């Protein structure tokens, strides 16, 4: 199901520059949903980013899970992606398409160096830019701004750690990410390992191997995502939000939040409310 989409209008005369042409949000849960690589004549690349649920991508004979906060990069005729037969919840994602210039060479260079699946935190400026565009339906860009947007995405992907595409993700990692999403408060590593019945050292090592980021860092990212959501959707005091995000020290929570968002939680909430009220009044 298509939730929203944007058409980018750029100067077609500058064929030497890569440019965006489409951005689309979808939710899929039918088991027959798939996108096959047999798409001859289609000349573009995509970055496909998972918001919730789980999808899978098959690239060069390897199949890999794509979990929230991860996405894959490919030329559209070189990979399959699909909703897995054992998917337990809808797969929500957005995909950003670009073409023109040396788009294929740029895509190949990044994939050859890092692999096809990337970890891209939701607080990354490119993800925030995508979120800000969701309510639009057409965007006009000059050729240079279009190329800059494509390069911003590729730069973001090269900055962040990547998923290990060479091995299928074990069930214990899927259970770990599911536990983190379902527990009422962001857990500590010891709580997770206790629930899963394995040592915290083994869980941390396994998680880093398959997710390309340490479990501690992943928990911190999820806590900041939860904090942002609670700040916007509740009027809870900062101390209560800190506890829900796994922080027993409010000052530590504020310090970490400021590192991610360049604002204190109170300032961030105030700015978001002001922005929302401004949009409504206009």
Distance CA 196, CA 132 (A): 38
- DSSP class per residue in 139-201: EE--HHHHHHHHHHHHHHHHHS-B--TTSPPPHHHHHHHHHHHHSSSPPPHHHHHHHHTS-HH
Residues 6+ apart with CB under 8 A from 280: none
Among 113-127, 166-180, 222-236, name the one with the lowest average pLDDT: 166-180
Distance CA 113, CA 106 (A): 11
Tokens of 62: 């390897």
Mean pLDDT of 72-84: 86
Query: Strands of 34-35's sheet, edge to edge?
Result: 34-35, 79-82, 55-59, 62-66
Residue 128: strand, helix, or coil: helix
CA 230 to chain centre: 19
pLDDT of residue 1: 79
Mean pLDDT of 253-266: 92
Residue 70 has pLDDT above 70, yes or no: yes
Q: Which of 3-7, 9-13, 238-242 has the highest mean pLDDT?
A: 238-242
Q: How far is CA 129 from CA 15, 123, 154, 210, in A?
A: 25, 10, 14, 28
Q: What's the predicted TM-score (pTM) here? A: 0.64
Q: What angle do CA 274, 275, 278 make, to 5 degrees?
A: 85
Residue 164 has pLDDT above 80, yes or no: no
pLDDT of residue 254: 95
pLDDT of residue 192: 92
pLDDT of residue 12: 67
Residue 280 has pLDDT above 50, yes or no: no
pLDDT of residue 28: 85
Pairing label, strands 138-140, 2-9: parallel
pLDDT of residue 255: 94
pLDDT in tens, 132-160: 888 787 888 888 899 999 999 999 998 87
pLDDT in tens, 193-212: 998 888 999 899 888 877 76
Tokens of 259: 């590192």
pLDDT of residue 73: 92
DSSP 82: E
250: part of which helix (H) or strand (E)? helix 250-261
Distance CA 23, CA 149 (A): 12
Q: What is the residue-averaged pLDDT of the chain?
A: 84
Place 165 in a pLDDT band, splitting at 50, 70 and 90: very low
Crossing angle of helices 171-182 and 215-233, in 10° steps, is 30
Place 166 in a pLDDT band, splitting at 50, 70 and 90: very low
Mean pLDDT of 1-24: 83
Place 237 in a pLDDT band, splitting at 50, 70 and 90: very high
Q: Which of 11-25, 83-97, 172-186, 233-247 has the highest mean pLDDT?
A: 233-247
Place 59 in a pLDDT band, splitting at 50, 70 and 90: confident
Q: How far is CA 26 from CA 1, 50, 92, 96, 181, in A?
A: 6, 10, 6, 12, 20
Residue 42 has pLDDT above 90, yes or no: no
């Amino acid at each position: 199901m298509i939730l929203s989409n944007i058409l980018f209008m750029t100067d077609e005369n500058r064929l030497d520059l890569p440019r965006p042409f489409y951005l689309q949000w979808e939710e899929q849960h039918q088991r027959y949903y798939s996108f096959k690589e047999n798409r001859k004549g289609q000349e573009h690349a995509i970055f496909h980013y998972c918001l919730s649920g789980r999808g899978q991508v098959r690239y060069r004979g390897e199949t890999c899970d794509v979990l929230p906060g991860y996405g894959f990069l490919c030329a559209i005729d070189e990979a399959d992606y699909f909703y897995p037969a054992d998917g337990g919840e809808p797969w929500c994602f957005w995909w950003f398409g670009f073409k023109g210039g040396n788009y294929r060479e740029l895509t190949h260079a990044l994939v050859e160096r890092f692999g096809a699946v990337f970890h891209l935190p939701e607080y990354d400026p490119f993800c925030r830019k995508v979120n800000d565009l969701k309510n639009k339906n057409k965007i006009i860009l000059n050729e240079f701004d279009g190329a800059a947007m494509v390069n911003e995405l590729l730069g973001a992907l090269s900055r962040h750690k990547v998923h290990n595409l060479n091995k299928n993700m074990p069930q214990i990692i899927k259970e770990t990410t599911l536990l983190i999403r379902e527990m009422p408060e962001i857990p500590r590593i010891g709580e997770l390992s206790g629930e899963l019945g394995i040592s915290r050292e083994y869980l941390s090592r396994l998680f880093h191997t398959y997710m390309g980021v340490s479990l501690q860092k992943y928990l911190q990212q999820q806590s900041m995502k939860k904090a942002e959501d609670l700040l916007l959707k509740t009027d809870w005091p900062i101390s209560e939000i800190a506890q829900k995000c796994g922080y027993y020290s409010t000052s530590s929570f504020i310090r970490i939040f400021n590192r991610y968002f360049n604002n204190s939680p109170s300032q961030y909430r105030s700015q978001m409310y002001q922005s929302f009220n401004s949009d409504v009044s206009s």
